[in-house]
Structure 1
Amino acid sequence: MAVRGDATSPKKYRAPIAVALTGASGVQYGLRLIECLIAAGHEVYVMVSKAAHRVIAVETEIELPAQPDRLARDLARRFDAEEGQVRCFGREDWMAPVASGSGNWQALVICPCSTGTLSAVACGASNNLIERAADVALKERRKLILVPRETPLSAVHLENMLKLTNMGSVILPAAPGFYHRPDSVKAMVDFVVARILNQLDVAQTLMPRWGD
């Protein structure tokens, strides 16, 4: 299976979308998003921070490998991906496609997005690959969606969100609605993931659009 840096892998998937999981609560949103993007036929670039691995261990029964190649195989098996459809990158893999504006990818979703990551992106820090990918998305005017899960929000958080919104990114809080009368945690997760997919212009059947 091609997991990174394989220039010979066939380009038979929809345009690559990058997903980064950071250390906020709500890793279920990010994992479900990866599953849906795979099902929609997109090539998916995945980055998981060290803090996110810890949160995954606390919030779920899932054990994800830390090594990028093993993580790619695990996600591919877990979500029934085709060979080469999932590519994973380490925190300092500066040769990853997302580290450069010349890389062939169309959007980055940081889901969930910790307030620390939010701050780093807002000030242009590029201390790891996730932050660098966000910096690239901003400078290249590509879609950047940040999914914070924090409450209450301080003035610093709100100022960073406004700053990033003015830069062209989308702040999409992990705040599920209830008008669809969710009967499970999965239904609440799908509410938020459906909104992310709508922002990415990825067809989804998780939630009907208003009025349908």
Structure 2
Amino acid sequence: MESIVVAITGASAMQIGERSIQVLLENSKKVDLILSKGAYEVAKSERSINIPVEPKAQGDFWRNKLGVMSGKLTCYRWNDHSASIASGSHKTKGMVIVPCSMGTLGRIASGFSLDLIERCADVHLKENRPLVISPRESPLNLIHIENIKRLATAGALIVPPIPAWYTNPKTIDDLIDFIVVRLFDSLGEDLDYIKRWDGPNK
């Protein structure tokens, strides 16, 4: 089974990335997880969570926090350029960056890889594998828009974390689930966590 690479950067909305991990593992998927250096700081400042950096400890942390033992989870340091997923010869099903900061997006668009997330994104583009980017910024300036266009032209799919309202969400978790399912629809993963649109109510 080929893995799905999930990357979480230092943009607000880490909850979406966290739920992505949980949903994939609940569906017995194989997940390769990378947090950027900034993501650890966001976890501390926004959620008062100290996420271990060491891969084995981090894997245990997520298993305990998310309460899921199924699937396969492998965690990587943000600067581990020798990781298997940094090579094009290592097969994956695709990569999702959620949330994606504009700094990360801009470096990927420029082919400038400072960390493992950016290198993996570069690999997915050059190997013509699915790369789904969920940028979290507002408002967008022209540089942001041009970088998004450049990535879309290169083959990435841009999926902003925008919820739908036709599902009649009752909680923030309902909104997050919609975003997560739509992200992984782009990789062909049929995750049955939401009510899908089937026309107006009669």
When normalised by structure 2's length, the TM-score is 0.92
State the match for 1:170 in structure 2: 157
Secondary structure of the structure 1 residue equivalent to 2:92? coil
CA distance in 2, matches of 1:163, 1:81: 39
Give the deviation of 1:94 after TM superposition.
1.9
Secondary structure of the structure 2 residue equivalent to 1:81? coil
| 1:190 aligns to 2:177 (yes or no) | yes
State the match for 2:107 in structure 1: 120
State the match for 1:45 in structure 2: 32
Secondary structure of the structure 2 residue equivalent to 1:165? helix
Secondary structure of the structure 1 residue equivalent to 2:146? helix
Contact 1:25 1:55 in 2 (8 A): yes
1:38-187 to structure 2, matched below 5 A, reads 38-79=25-66, 80-82=68-70, 85-187=72-174
Contact 1:143 1:169 in 2 (8 A): yes
Give the deviation of 1:62 after TM superposition.
3.5
| 1:201 aligns to 2:188 (yes or no) | yes
**Partner letter of residue 44 of structure 2?**
A
Instruction: Map Cα deviations across residues 40-97 of structure 1 (whole Å, 9 max, x no partner).
Output: 11110000012111112233253321222211121123331348x1111112212212
Secondary structure of the structure 2 residue equivalent to 1:106? strand
Give the aligned length.
198
State the match for 1:211 in structure 2: 198
Secondary structure of the structure 2 residue equivalent to 1:124? coil
State the match for 1:5 in structure 2: none
**Unpaired segments ≥5 residues, structure 2:** none
CA distance in 1, matches of 2:184, 2:46: 23
**Partner letter of residue 110 of structure 1?**
I
CA distance in 2, matches of 1:40, 1:104: 20
CA distance in 1, matches of 2:133, 2:56: 25
Secondary structure of the structure 2 residue equivalent to 1:135? helix
**Partner letter of residue 116 of structure 2?**
L
Give the deviation of 1:180 after TM superposition.
1.6
CA distance in 2, matches of 1:165, 1:112: 17
How much identity, in percent, do the aligned residues show?
37
* Structure 1 segments (4+ residues) deviating >3 Å: none
State the match for 2:9 in structure 1: 22
Give the deviation of 1:188 after TM superposition.
1.0
